Amino acid sequence: MRNPYFKDYQSESHLFKGRVLVASIVIILFFIVLGIRLYYLQVEQFTQYSTLSEQNRVTLLAIAPNRGLIYDRNGVLLVENVPAYGLHLIPEKVKNIGETLDAINAIVPLSAEDRQNFYQQLKYRRRFEGVPLKVNLDEALAAKFSVHSYQFPGVKIAAELIRHYPYEAIFSHAIGYVGRINEQEMTNIDKASYSATQYIGKTGIEQFYEKELHGSPGFQHAETDVHGHIIRILKSEPPTHGNDLYLTLDSQLQLASVAAMEGKRGVIIAIEPATGGVLAFVSQPGFDPNLFVQGIGQDIYKQMLDSWERPLFNRILRGQYPPASTVKPMVALQGLQLGFTTPNYSISDPGFYRLPNVKRPYRDWRKQGHGYVNLHKAIVQSCDTYFYNLAHKMGIDPITDIYQQFGLGSPTGIDLIGELSGVVPGKEWKRANLNESWYPGETLITAIGQGFALATPLQLAHMATVLANQGERIKPHLVQHLQKQNGEIIQNTPEKLTPVTQKNPEHWALIQKSIHDVIAEPGGTAYRLSRNTPYTIAGKTGTAQVFTLGQNEEYDANILDEHLRDHALFIGYAPVESPQIALAIILENNTGAADVAKQVFDNYLLRTNS
Q: Is the peptide bond before 575 cis (omega within 30 degrees of 0)?
A: yes
Q: Does 127 sit near another protein (CB under 8 A)?
A: no
310 near another protein, rule: CB under 8 A: no
Size of the site for another protein (CB under 8 A): 42
Shorter beta-carbon distance to another protein: residue 93 or 430: 93
Could you tell me the smallest distance in angstroms from the CB atom of residue 234 to another protein? Answer: 11
Q: Find the binder of another protein among 90, 113, 143, 225 (CB under 8 A).
A: 225
| 43 vs 159 by CB, closer to another protein | 43
**What is the closest distance, in whole angstroms, from the C-beta atom of residue 228 to another protein in the complex?**
10
1 sits near another protein (criterion: CB under 8 A): yes
| Stretch in the footprint of another protein (CB under 8 A) among 18-26, 96-104, 285-293, 495-503 | 18-26
d(CA 253, CA 605): 10
Which residue in 325, 382, 514, 530 is the catalytic one? 325
* In the complex, minimum distance from the CB of residue 99 to another protein, in angstroms, rounded to a whole number: 22
Closest C-alpha among 215, 198, 223 to residue 68: 215
Is 95 one of the binding residues for another protein (CB under 8 A)? no
Length of the chain, please? 610
Question: Residue 482 burial by CB count (10 A; 0-12/13-18/19+): exposed, middle or buried?
Answer: buried
CB of 10 to another protein, least distance (A): 11
Binding part of the chain for another protein, among 135-143, 219-227, 383-391, 541-549 by CB under 8 A, reads 219-227
Residue 294 C-beta: closest distance to another protein, Å: 36
Among 16, 119, 372, 547, binds another protein (CB under 8 A): 16
Q: Does 232 bind another protein (CB under 8 A)?
A: no
Four-point Cα dihedral 220, 223, 229, 232, nearest 10: -80
Residues 380 and 517: beta-carbon distance below 8 Å: yes
CB 205 within 8 A of CB 175: yes
Q: Which of 227, 359, 367, 531 binds another protein (CB under 8 A)?
A: 227
**Closest CA relative to residue 452, chosen from 258, 321, 583:** 321
605 phi, psi to nearest 5 deg: -80, -40
Cβ at position 237, least distance to another protein in Å: 21
Judged by CB under 8 A, the stretch of 223-231, 276-284, 466-474, 521-529 that binds another protein is 223-231
Are 333 and 504 a contacting pair, CB within 8 Å?
A: no
Closest distance between another protein and the C-beta of residue 8, in Å?
A: 7
Does residue 230 touch another protein according to CB under 8 A?
A: no
Separation of CA 470 from chain center = 30
Q: Which amino acid is at 129?
A: E
| Residue 137 CA: distances (Å) to CA of 80, 114, 132 | 18, 12, 11
Q: What is the per-residue burial (b if ≥16 Cβ within 10 Å, else e) of 313-347? A: bbbbbebbbbbbbbbbbbbbbbbbbeebbeeeebb
Nearest approach in angstroms of CB 58 to another protein is 9
Q: Which is nearer to another protein, 30 or 372 (CB)?
A: 30
Residue 422 and residue 452 in contact, taking contact as beta carbons nearer than 8 Å: no
Using the rule CB under 8 A, is 553 a contact of another protein? Answer: no
**Residue type for position 511:** I
Beta bridge partners of 221: 60, 235
Q: Which is nearer to another protein, 53 or 609 (CB)?
A: 53
Q: Which amino acid does the sequence have at 461?
A: A
DSSP 41-94: IIIITHHHHHHHHHHHHEEEEEEPPPPPPEE-TT--EEEEEEEEEEEEE-GGG-
User: What is the closest distance, in whole angstroms, from the C-beta atom of residue 177 to another protein in the complex?
Assistant: 41
The string of DSSP letters for 437-495 reads ---HHHHHHHHTT-TT-BB-HHHHHHHHHHHHTTT-EE--BSEEEEE-TTS-EEE-PPP
19 lines the binding site for another protein (CB under 8 A)? yes
Q: Is 7 in the site for another protein (CB under 8 A)?
A: yes
Residue 490 near another protein by CB under 8 A: no
Using rule CB under 8 A, residue 609 touches another protein: no
Q: Does 231 bind another protein (CB under 8 A)?
A: yes
Catalytic residue list contains 325 = yes
Minimum CB distance to another protein smaller for 53 or for 578: 53
Kindly give the residue spans of alpha helices, DSSP state H, lying in 355-395.
Answer: 375-380, 384-394
56 vs 348 by CB, closer to another protein: 56
Residues numbered 33 to 72 that lie near another protein (CB under 8 A) are 33-35, 37-39, 41-43, 45-46, 48-50, 52-53, 56-57
State the minimum distance, in angstroms, from the CB of residue 233 to another protein.
Answer: 14
Which of left, alpha, beta for 295 (phi over 0: left; psi -120 to 50: alpha)? left
Contact flag: residue 236 with another protein (CB under 8 A)? no
Sequence-distant (6+) residues with CB within 8 A of 46 are none
Out of 185, 223, 237, 401, which residue is the one contacting another protein (CB under 8 A)? 223
The footprint of another protein on residues 185-214 (CB under 8 A) is none
Task: Sheet with 58-63: list strands edge to edge.
Answer: 58-63, 218-224, 230-237
CA 348: distance to chain centroid?
Answer: 49
Element (H, E) at 374: strand 371-374
Shortest spacing between CB 191 and another protein, in angstroms: 23
Piece of 21-29, 148-156, 398-406, 465-473 that binds another protein (CB under 8 A): 21-29
Residues that bind another protein (CB under 8 A): 1-2, 4, 7-8, 11-12, 15-17, 19-20, 23-24, 27-28, 30-31, 33-35, 37-39, 41-43, 45-46, 48-50, 52-53, 56-57, 223-227, 231
Which positions are annotated as active-site residues?
325
